[in-house]
Structure 1
Amino acid sequence: MSDIRSVRKRQQLNNLVAMVTEQARPGNTVVDFCSGTGHVGIVLAHTLPDCQVILIENKEESLVRAQRRGAELGLKNIGFIQANLDNFTGPFQIGVALHACGVATDMVMEHCIQAGAAFVISPCCYGFIQNAIKFSFPKSKRFQETLTNKEHMILCRFADQTAVQLRPDRRLIGKECMGLVDLDRSWAAEAHGYALQVMTMEPDSCSPKNNMLVGKPPPESGLEVDAGKQKAPVHN
C-alpha cells in the first residue's frame, strides 16, 4: 500500500470508528460485514475492548489474513466467520461496512433493520446497483413517485463519476448523484422508524466515495436495553 493510500485508509477508518464509538455500549456485538482483511474490524476490536466484534467475509484468504493480524495483536474480543453476509443470523447491535459495493450496501442495511441494529455504512460502486430478488429501485416511496427504475439506474451510473482524474464540474455532478442515491436509501430506512444521517467523511479527499449512512434504530427495538444480554456466536 502506498503512503498516500495508507493515509487515506486511516482517514476512512477514523470516520467510521468515530461514528461506531459514538453509538457503542459495553456488551454490544458489532459486526463488520464484508470485512476483507480486517482493516475496520480489527481497529474496532482494539478501540472497543468491552464490545464483541465479529468479522464476516466470504473469501477464505482474506479472513485468514484477518485472523493472523488479530492474533498478532492479541485481541480477545474478536471473532471470524466465513460466510456471505446474508447468511449471518446471530444477534448484534451495530453493523458496519466500509465501501460495500453496489447492492451490498442495501443488503447490509436490510440485515441491520431486520435485527433492529444501528449501522454505519460507506457505500461504493453505485453503478453496480442492479435490481435483485430482494430489492427494487428506487427504494423509497417518495423516489418511486419521482423516478422510474431506468432513471434511477442512470442516476447510479452518474454517481460513480467522482474520480479525481475527472473535471471538477463532472465530479460535482457525481457527488450530487451519490447524495440522491443515498437519500433514497435513507428515506427507505426511515420508513422502518430509523433516524438517518447521510454524512461526508473528512477530509473530503480521503475517498471519491466518501458518503456515510449512519442509522439509529427506533427506541422500541430495545437496542440499549438488551445490548449486554445478547451475544453472537463466535468462531475463533
Structure 2
Amino acid sequence: GKGGPMNAAVVRASRALPLRRVTPSMMDPNARALRGVKEMKSCAILGKGKKIYVGNLPRDVPPVDLANLVRRACEAEYGEVGHVRVAHTADDRRRRNKSRDPTKLNEGYCFVRFKDESSAERAMRGLGGNEAPAGLAFGGGALRVEWARDTHSEDVDEKLLQQKRDERRKRNEHKARQRKRNKVREVDEIREILQRVPPPGGSEASNLFKELGECKTLVQGAMDRSDPQGETHPALDPETFSIDWSKVPVECDPGAGEWYGSKNEDHVKRRRERKRDQVQSFALVLSHLVAAARRTGTKDLTGPGVPQVRVVDFGSGSGALTLPLAFLFPKVSFHALDMKPKAIELLLEKAEKGGLRNLTASGGMIENFDQEFDIGLALHACGNATDYSMVQAVKNRASFAFCPCCVGKLKFSLEGGSSFSAKHKNYIDLPDQPGESSVLEHPRSEWMRKSVSQKQFALIAKAGDISHGCDQESHGQSHGYDDLARTCKANIEFDRSMYAAENK
C-alpha cells in the first residue's frame, strides 16, 4: 500500500543501479531459455509475451519482501500477476561464496510474469513512464523496464521459431561454403607462389628434409672425433649418443617430475619421450659443433690448452634444453636467455639443485643480447625469436642449431613487432631498455626476396603454421593440406638458412 513501513524503507535505500546480466538460475523456474537462437528476444521475435524485466530496484530489501511489494503494486494497477522473481546473490553459484556488501540483499531487479499479455503491455507503459505507480515510486530514479529475454513455452510461436532456426542454418551453411572457396583460392595462390621460388626451395622443398634421414653424416662425424678432454658426462654414450636418464639429476631431466594440464597418460608419456628425444638430438649436433669450435681456438678460460666453448640457449624457458645439455657437457660454458624473469628464476633454482657450475642465465629480449658466444641454440623460439637468434649468431660469427616453431607468429614481425605481439617490443615484466629494437625484413634472404613479396611470404608463413608432431591427429590440427604446410615450413627455414649463408 501507499506510505507503509515497507515503502518507506525502500525509499531510503534506493538509488540508480546498472543493469545486471541474467544467469539461467535467476530465470523463472517455469520458463525456457531459447539459447540456440542468438537474436531471439521475446519483444522482437516471439511477440511481447507476458513477462517483463523491472530494474533499478532498491537492494536493501529482502527478496521475499520486495517480491510481495512488486506483486501488490502491479496487481493494483495492471492486472493479475502469476509469478514474481527477485534476483539475489544466492541464485548465482559463481558469486555465492564471494565476499559482498551485507547491506545488498538482492541484485536490484526482478521478473514479473502476468496472467495475460494485455496486463504485461499496460505494465510496460506504466512502469516505463516518468511517474511510477504508487508503491513503486522509489527515490532512486525511474524504473528500468524491458520485455524479458527468457520466454515461457506458452509464449513461443513455434512456426516463427523454426523459421528463424532455418534462416540461421542456411546462413551458417553459406558461410561455410564461402570459407571453403576462400581456402581453395588461397591454397592455389600459395602453390603458384612456391612454383616461383628457386631451388633448393619451392614446391619440392620438403622432400629434401625427408632425404636427410637420421643425420647419419653428423653421427659418423661425431663418432669419429676424439675426445681427449673427456668433455661429456658418462650419461651420454659417445658411440650411440643415447642418454642414460637414470644418471641425470631429476632437476635436469625434462621428462621427470609432475606434469600438469593433461589427464591423458599416453599424451604425457609421448611428451616425456619427445622432450628427451629433443635433448638427445641437440646433444648429437652440439657435440659436432663443440669439436669444431675447439679447433678454432676460442679464448682459454679453463686452463692451458683447453679452450672453453661458450653456448647460448636463446628462449631457454625454465631450462628444458639448457639444463640437461649443461649436465652432459660439463666442460662447456652455457648461458640461458629468456624474456620471462620467472622462467629464469626457476631455471637457476633447478641448476643449483642439480649441482651445475657451468651455467649462467639472464632475462632479456634476444635482440638486445650483447655477450659474445661460439654456439647458439634455440628450441621452440616462436616467430621472429628464431630470426633474432640467427642475427645474433651471424653477428658473433657463431655456429648455431635452431629448432623453430610457430612460424604463423611471423605475422607480428611483418608488422614490425616482436615474437609475441605486433604492438609491443618488450616483455611486460622486463625493465625498459634504451634504444629501439631493429625491425626485421621478410623474407630474410635476398635469394627469396627476388621471387617472393612480403605479402606472399605472409601467406607461406600462415600456411606453414601447423603441428607436424606424432600426435597431430589427436589434437585435431590436421587441416587437409599437411603436405603443403610442410612445404611452406621448409621454405621458411630455407629462407633463414640462406640469410645466414649470405652473411657468413
Give per-residue Cα distances to partners, 1:66-102, cap 9 Å, x unaligned: 1111111101111111222222211110010101100
Do 2:393 and 2:400's aligned partners in 1 also have CA atoms closer than 8 Å?
yes
* Partner Cα separation in structure 2 for residue 161 and residue 74 of structure 1: 38
AA aligned to 1:41 is T
**1:121 alignment counterpart:** 402
Do 1:161 and 1:170's aligned partners in 2 also have CA atoms closer than 8 Å?
no
- 1:186 equivalent to 2:186? Answer no
TM-score (norm 1): 0.77
**1:145 alignment counterpart:** 450
Please state how far the C-alpha of 1:168 moved relative to its aligned partner.
8.2
> Helix, strand or coil for the counterpart of 2:503?
coil
* Partner Cα separation in structure 1 for residue 276 and residue 312 of structure 2: 19
AA aligned to 1:67 is L
* Partner Cα separation in structure 2 for residue 134 and residue 58 of structure 1: 18
The answer to which structure has the higher strand fraction is 1
**1:157 alignment counterpart:** 462
Please state how far the C-alpha of 1:169 moved relative to its aligned partner.
5.3
Aligned length, in residue pairs: 193
Instruction: Write the mapping of 1:95-134 to structure 2, written as runs, cut at 5 A.
Output: 95-129=376-410, 130-131=413-414, 132=416, 133-134=438-439
Alignment match of 2:329 (pick from 41, 44, 48):
48
Please state how far the C-alpha of 1:140 moved relative to its aligned partner.
1.4
Flag the structure with larger Rg: 2
* Partner Cα separation in structure 2 for residue 64 and residue 188 of structure 1: 34
> Helix, strand or coil for the counterpart of 2:361?
strand
AA aligned to 1:114 is K
Give per-residue Cα distances to partners, 1:11-32, cap 9 Å, x unaligned: 1121122111211135011001
TM-score (norm 2): 0.37
> Helix, strand or coil for the counterpart of 2:337?
strand
**1:232 alignment counterpart:** none
* Partner Cα separation in structure 2 for residue 170 and residue 28 of structure 1: 43
* Partner Cα separation in structure 2 for residue 83 and residue 21 of structure 1: 27
Structure of greater relative contact order (alpha carbons < 8 Å, 6+ residues apart): 1
**1:6 alignment counterpart:** 272
AA aligned to 2:283 is V
Instruction: Write the mapping of 1:189-200 to structure 2, written as runs, cut at 5 A.
Output: 189-193=500-504
* Partner Cα separation in structure 2 for residue 167 and residue 37 of structure 1: 29
Please state how far the C-alpha of 1:167 moved relative to its aligned partner.
4.4
Give per-residue Cα distances to partners, 1:182-217, cap 9 Å, x unaligned: 111111111013xxxxxxxxxxxxxxxxxxxxxxxx
Q: Which moved more, 1:152-161 or 1:136-145?
A: 136-145
Please state how far the C-alpha of 1:145 moved relative to its aligned partner.
1.3
* Partner Cα separation in structure 2 for residue 75 and residue 94 of structure 1: 19
Do 1:162 and 1:172's aligned partners in 2 also have CA atoms closer than 8 Å?
no
RMSD over equivalenced CA pairs, Å = 1.5
AA aligned to 1:136 is E
* Partner Cα separation in structure 2 for residue 185 and residue 56 of structure 1: 21
- Relative distance call for 1:128 and 1:49 in structure 2 (3 A) is same
* Partner Cα separation in structure 1 for residue 497 and residue 270 of structure 2: 32
- 1:32 equivalent to 2:343? Answer no
* Partner Cα separation in structure 2 for residue 140 and residue 117 of structure 1: 18
* Partner Cα separation in structure 2 for residue 180 and residue 108 of structure 1: 18
> Helix, strand or coil for the counterpart of 1:39?
coil
> Helix, strand or coil for the counterpart of 2:321?
helix
Give per-residue Cα distances to partners, 1:131-167, cap 9 Å, x unaligned: 2352111121221111111110000011013351344
AA aligned to 1:53 is F
- 1:15 equivalent to 2:290? Answer no
AA aligned to 1:28 is V
Do 2:279 and 2:325's aligned partners in 1 also have CA atoms closer than 8 Å?
no
**2:487 alignment counterpart:** 176
* Partner Cα separation in structure 1 for residue 333 and residue 466 of structure 2: 37
* Partner Cα separation in structure 2 for residue 70 and residue 167 of structure 1: 38
* Partner Cα separation in structure 2 for residue 58 and residue 127 of structure 1: 20
Alignment identity in percent?
A: 26
Alignment match of 2:365 (pick from 67, 84, 102):
84
> Helix, strand or coil for the counterpart of 2:357?
coil
AA aligned to 2:404 is P
Give per-residue Cα distances to partners, 1:16-50, cap 9 Å, x unaligned: 22111211135011001111001111112111111
AA aligned to 1:15 is S
Do 1:55 and 1:80's aligned partners in 2 also have CA atoms closer than 8 Å?
yes
> Helix, strand or coil for the counterpart of 2:313?
strand
Do 1:97 and 1:120's aligned partners in 2 also have CA atoms closer than 8 Å?
yes
Q: Which runs of 5+ in 1 are unaligned?
A: 194-236
Do 1:159 and 1:177's aligned partners in 2 also have CA atoms closer than 8 Å?
yes
